[in-house]
Structure 1
Amino acid sequence: MRKLATSALLLIAIISMPLQASPLDDARNSGQVVELANGYVKAKGDVPANIRSLVADVNKRRKTAYTKIAKRNGISVDQVAAESYVKRKKKTKRM
């Protein structure tokens, strides 16, 4: 479990760092994109093509990262994704 927690924290650091003050943050702040409890993001409503593309790219990168962590820890990708969501929400509340 400790290995999973460490991996999840590393995942959040990897995902969050390049995305700080990013188009994803802007899209989230404007309500065009939301974080889902399954660890991925979703476009909310009718959004421009660049936002749909951003969502697809972010989700693809997250799935790749989640898959690596899941294999390393012998757990499911869904478990890693859900833990990532919990960590991301906790981090957001501290800011």
Structure 2
Amino acid sequence: MAHFRPPESKREQFRRYLEKTGVLESLTSVLVALYEETEKPSDAMDFIKQRLGLSGPAPSEAEVVRLELMELQQQYEHLLLENGDLKYRLLQYESTQDDGVTE
């Protein structure tokens, strides 16, 4: 007599996929860490994101970087103008030197 085995459900396939890829282990460890926290964080999602390495920079850090970027862009534009001015002055100087040599 042959044993009848029902087809594996999609739910079971997905559960095995999560186990195989390490997702269940990662989520379990994060949830255990949250459970073991003596003082529960006010935002559990932020805690989970931080533990999984998904959280971006803090808003204050992002603002500092944004301000630094603006300052560097201004410096860059200033240096471009200065470079253009110096190139122009160099060309004028070289042309006066050439005029002096031909005389």
Fold conserved between structures, TM > 0.5: no
**Structure having greater relative contact order (Cα 8 Å, sep ≥ 6):** 1
Greater share of helix: 2
Which of 1 and 2 has greater Rg? Answer: 2
TM-score for both structures, normalised by structure 2: 0.28
TM-score normalised per structure 1: 0.30
More strand by share: 1
